Structure 1
Amino acid sequence: MAEPGGEEERPLLGSAHNDCPQRQALPALCDPRRLAHRLLVLVFMCFLGFGSYFCYDNPAALQTQVQRDMKVNTATFMALYAWYSWPNVVLCFFGGFLIDRVFGIRLGTIIFSSFVCVGQVIFAMGALFNAFWLMEAGRFVFGIGGESLAVAQNAYAVSWFKGKELNLVFGLQLSMARIGSTVNMNIMGWIYSRVQDLLGSTGHSTLGFTLMIGGVTCIFSLICALILAYLDKRAGKILCKEQGKTGEVIKLTDVKDFSLSLWLIFIICVCYYAAVFPFIGLGKVFFIEKFKFSSQEASAINSIVYIISAPMSPVFGFLVDKLGRNIIWVMCAVVATLASHIMLAFTFWNPWIAMCMLGVAYSLLACALWPMVAFVVPEHQLGTAYGFMQSIQNLGLAIIAIAAGTILDSRGYLFLEVFFSACICLSLIAVVMLYFVNHLTGGDLNWSAKKREKLQKLTAAEAESREKLRRQNEDDLAKLQPKNDFSLRNRYLSRLGAQVLVAKQFFPTEDIPIKKQKKSLSSHKQYIGSYERAKFIPLLLEINLAYNLKKIKTKRKG
């Protein structure tokens, strides 16, 4: 009789997951399978990018102060945005690859959050020491972590939320990020004034201390990254999931396999954001010069895009979830953005109208465009795809930032607005092409939400059927699996009518490990003499059978 813990208690083939701890009833807030816990994770997920987005637009919120205190022109000032973007031309792509293959989501998020904190500190130290090159270096380090952190944030979202929830989650993430940008636009000037009152004068020291205070938000985001890592690791243990196990191998050469639809999404992203972020970076002075706004009024209207984006992003995310038709929503957003830039360039209408329209369009595009990546690439390539999307976006932003500063210094704001309108036109052309390519290839980018949900259910049912069939085939193969040579000989001899006296209890070599065989066989020396001779019993039986058959034939002849 087998002892407890023996071979009989081991899990069957394909039941390795039985090693996981048994599921216990947990409070809803502590159970990763429950909605309450996932919403808690979503809160930290949203705050993960708060500090990065807050500090990204520090130069825009302090454009006048930076140019005055550091004594630089507009082109040099815009280099602060270019230095942020340059490292991400490469690192965003490899950031996604590192998240997928090397660090994993948890460690990668912590590393990238640390780069954001260190970069902001260096940026502030450059202002304190009146060294603009050090400020540029700080923005470079800040950029190393900033966009890669956004990739990690997207990967977390896809890991915790699936299907129709995804658009809403992206909208909430963007909403919280825009709250950070809005607070930055409206509070950094006030902080600068308070620091100026404490120091008694303006100058690079005042600017440096102001930027250092802004860096506190980056520390807050780093804390959120640590909490997220703990919660994700805990969920992995409870749900018996291994981090980074995608089931397929990711190769850097996967980029050449990206579909035409995905490349068109990349073009839309680059051309659209190239006409939004650089405009906001230079918008404060634009409203002061063209519309004669005060500094506070200019900061307020320049931040209206982010103010609108904060509450509208989850609304639009929910709307896109319910209705689908992502390409149509993207097209509407691009057309509205083009109309906004034309109004700002060629009319003196109240700029609040154009900026509010731009804010609505910006929110809508983000909620409809980014989730489309998950529809056209396999899940194991999502980190790489999002990383590459961020990478080429930053390439465009770096080039456009330098070009925008140069155009503004040499030609003025009218030519700059025409330039931004041309970028939006390119984005519109790419959207139209994406619509027809998706239609011709039978893609699902423009499906309704009901149709997509129906297909997902059908796909899940087919996958379940294939899994059941696979398990049934494994069971059938296990039943048909041949036994060892000794068992086959005994079966053959028994069918011939020969007497098989060598029982399993004499030769327990089939179910007992090798180390125990000698000990077991030694107790049967009265039957077989020794263990070495036992190995020849099957051969002796065959010889005996052949002898008996020969004897029978001889009698028949006689």
Structure 2
Amino acid sequence: MSKLFKTLKDTGAIRWVALLCLALPMFASYFFDDIFSTINQEFEDPSMVALGWSMADYGFYRSAYSLLCIFGGLIICGMLLDRWGVRLTGSIFVGLMVGGAALITYAISESFAGSRLCAWLSGVFAKPSLSLAYAGCAMFGLGSEIAGVTVNRAIAKWFKGREIALAMGLQLALARLGTAVALIVVPRIVELEGYIPFSETSKPAVVGMVLLLGALVLWGLFVAMDYGADRRGAAAGSASGAADTGSPAEDRFRFRDVLKVITDRHFILISLLCVFFYCCVVSFRKFATAILMPRFGIDSDVASVMVAMIPFFTLVFAPLFGAVVDRVGRGTKIMILGSAMILFSHLTVAFAPGVPAFGFIAIGVLGLGYSLVPAAMWPSLPKIIAESRLGTAFSLVYWVQNIGLFTVPIVVGHIIDRASSPVVAEYFFIGLAVCAIVVSVLLSRSSDRHPELRLDEKAGGR
């Protein structure tokens, strides 16, 4: 009888189509987030930009991404995810992500510059475009982060006990491909010679908006698929004599369950590993060009190619390493290896001979480590946290990560300002990498003492 009511999630091809519908919105999100990453030099001379932003203005705009996330937005929305489910919560925050991006695109356009809204805001803010873009970036940031949490929650729902590490690796690879495409494509579609009009500054945002609108359609398709899968699952439960009212009451999320999450030793270790590890890579990437150019005697074009290696490596290796975790397990040992690779990379940047080849080696190893740790780390959460609390758990990890990604660039910026060379900042990244190794070793030892958690088992526990 169960074959007659086989759910959509039990059909391999349908699962991978669902994954594609989940991953491509994150591709669009990552692309839009990096639309200015390789062209922010245009803000060095505000008089040559119609938008009128300076580098300080750009830094202020970028800080908005984590604003709502840090001040409780991620935690509250994660709890809502566990109460409302992936369809409703995801639809709200994918919509918020697209709405925030639309606000940014409008704020940096010529249409806004000549509007009544701009004239009204001019009486309140010195730079109305910056103020409106800041609000849009805050909306976009919260929407993107909760969309990311929802995507991970949905993957756990569709792939738990199956190819979950491979699925998360593929999602991660496609998302980071958005960054890689932005780093490569945006400098080639924007003309930065001479005076830069609104049309050039807003061009990458318009491209990003087109991608996000397509992502919105794909999310709608996933919602329909997930609804269909749940209906078939309920029908299968009814046919086998089980109650069709959903999860048992004791498995449903309660607000006091947050305490169960934040007091879990393994959850704390995974959260700490996440913040130390991601700050070693993501925060480094924000300053990589400034560090690599003087360290290895290269120009900005070569440095940008080096930095672009990071997301391109994850495109290839994140799914591969995810498949390895599914097949062989040993996830905590893989986290140790990946953290050690990050440390090796930063040691190479700091102390290797100033030959460009060593720079490429260091960034290549960084890209491998950046693929290896998440392939094992993210699939570990569904193993230690009940599904009814999984959205809260993912959002809490993202919250801790955002605190690090908000504060570490500030610290590194001050180090570079005060140091004789930007390379001095590498000592700070080396310290973070050492912390990541220590935490991953502690997690591995705890896994050895608690085999019932199955942190080092392969998919399905076979």
Does residue 88 (structure 1) correspond to residue 69 (structure 2)? The answer is yes
Aligned to 2:461: 453
**2:320 pairs with 315, 320, 328, which one?**
315
**2:54 pairs with 64, 69, 72, which one?**
72
Task: Give runs of aligned pairs for residues 480-491 of structure 1, distance below 5 A.
Answer: none
Q: Could you tell me how far apart the structure 1 residues matched to 2:324 and 2:3 are? A: 36
> Deviation of residue 309 (structure 1)?
0.2
Aligned length: 424
Aligned to 2:11: 34
Q: Could you tell me how far apart the structure 2 residues matched to 1:295 and 1:33 are? A: 49
> Deviation of residue 147 (structure 1)?
0.5
- Report the more deviating stretch, 127-136 or 341-350: 127-136
Aligned to 2:106: 125
CA contact (8 A) 2:309 2:363 kept: yes
CA contact (8 A) 1:407 1:416 kept: yes
Counterpart of 1:110, as a letter, is: S
- Distance verdict in 2 for CA 1:79–1:156, change over 3 Å: same
Aligned to 2:221: 227
Counterpart of 2:25, as a letter, is: L
Aligned to 1:488: none
Q: Could you tell me how far apart the structure 2 residues matched to 1:24 and 1:282 are? A: 56
Counterpart of 1:225, as a letter, is: W
Counterpart of 1:390, as a letter, is: Y
Q: TM-score scaled to structure 2, two decimals?
A: 0.84
CA contact (8 A) 2:177 2:311 kept: yes
Larger Rg: 1 or 2? 1
**1:382 pairs with 344, 366, 390, which one?**
390
Aligned to 1:407: 415
CA contact (8 A) 1:284 1:302 kept: yes
Q: Which runs of 5+ in 2 are unaligned?
A: 114-126, 236-243
- Distance verdict in 2 for CA 1:216–1:263, change over 3 Å: same
SS of the aligned residue for 1:225 comes to: helix
Q: Could you tell me how far apart the structure 2 residues matched to 1:190 and 1:233 are? A: 41
Aligned to 1:363: 371
- Distance verdict in 2 for CA 1:282–1:134, change over 3 Å: farther
Does residue 101 (structure 1) correspond to residue 83 (structure 2)? The answer is yes
Counterpart of 2:16, as a letter, is: L
CA contact (8 A) 2:8 2:228 kept: no
**1:206 pairs with 181, 200, 208, which one?**
200
Instruction: Report which structure shows greater RCO (CA 8 Å, sep ≥6).
Output: 2
Q: Could you tell me how far apart the structure 1 residues matched to 2:408 and 2:36 are? A: 16
CA contact (8 A) 1:309 1:363 kept: yes
Q: Could you tell me how far apart the structure 1 residues matched to 2:455 and 2:224 are? A: 37
Aligned to 1:416: 425
- After superposition, the C-alpha distances for 1:493-538 in whole angstroms (9 at most, x for unaligned) are xxxxxxxxxxxxxxxxxxxxxxxxxxxxxxxxxxxxxxxxxxxxxx
Q: Could you tell me how far apart the structure 1 residues matched to 2:445 and 2:327 are? A: 23
> Deviation of residue 71 (structure 1)?
4.8
CA contact (8 A) 1:84 1:142 kept: yes
Aligned to 2:141: 143
Q: Could you tell me how far apart the structure 1 residues matched to 2:383 and 2:221 are? A: 29
- Report the more deviating stretch, 110-119 or 410-419: 410-419
Q: Could you tell me how far apart the structure 1 residues matched to 2:346 and 2:322 are? A: 24
Task: Give runs of aligned pairs for residues 383-532 of structure 1, distance below 5 A.
Answer: 383-411=391-419, 412-449=421-458, 453-454=461-462
> Deviation of residue 80 (structure 1)?
3.8
SS of the aligned residue for 1:58 comes to: coil
> Deviation of residue 164 (structure 1)?
4.1
CA contact (8 A) 2:454 2:461 kept: no
> Deviation of residue 407 (structure 1)?
2.6
Aligned to 1:275: 280
SS of the aligned residue for 1:87 comes to: helix
CA contact (8 A) 2:9 2:158 kept: no
SS of the aligned residue for 2:453 comes to: coil
Q: Which has the higher helix share?
A: 2
- Distance verdict in 2 for CA 1:116–1:172, change over 3 Å: same
- After superposition, the C-alpha distances for 1:364-415 in whole angstroms (9 at most, x for unaligned) are 0110111111111112111111111111111111111222233333334222
Q: TM-score scaled to structure 1, two decimals?
A: 0.71
Counterpart of 1:151, as a letter, is: V
SS of the aligned residue for 1:331 comes to: helix
CA contact (8 A) 1:334 1:427 kept: yes
SS of the aligned residue for 2:389 comes to: helix
Aligned to 1:215: 209
Q: Could you tell me how far apart the structure 2 residues matched to 1:293 and 1:138 are? A: 36
Aligned to 1:261: 266
Aligned to 2:337: 332
SS of the aligned residue for 2:234 comes to: coil
- Distance verdict in 2 for CA 1:181–1:33, change over 3 Å: same
CA contact (8 A) 2:35 2:204 kept: no
Q: Could you tell me how far apart the structure 2 residues matched to 1:183 and 1:243 are? A: 45
Aligned to 1:48: 25
Q: Could you tell me how far apart the structure 2 residues matched to 1:106 and 1:449 are? A: 29
Q: Could you tell me how far apart the structure 2 residues matched to 1:92 and 1:382 are? A: 13
Aligned to 1:303: 308
Task: Give runs of aligned pairs for residues 111-190 of structure 1, distance below 5 A.
Answer: 111-128=92-109, 129=113, 131-190=129-188
Q: Could you tell me how far apart the structure 1 residues matched to 2:26 and 2:132 are? A: 24
Q: Could you tell me how far apart the structure 2 residues matched to 1:171 and 1:113 are? A: 21
Q: Could you tell me how far apart the structure 2 residues matched to 1:98 and 1:440 are? A: 34
CA contact (8 A) 1:53 1:180 kept: yes
Q: Could you tell me how far apart the structure 2 residues matched to 1:72 and 1:290 are? A: 26
Aligned to 2:122: none
Q: Could you tell me how far apart the structure 1 residues matched to 2:422 and 2:42 are? A: 20
Q: Which runs of 5+ in 1 are unaligned?
A: 1-17, 455-558
> Deviation of residue 275 (structure 1)?
1.7
Q: Could you tell me how far apart the structure 1 residues matched to 2:351 and 2:328 are? A: 35
RMSD: 2.6
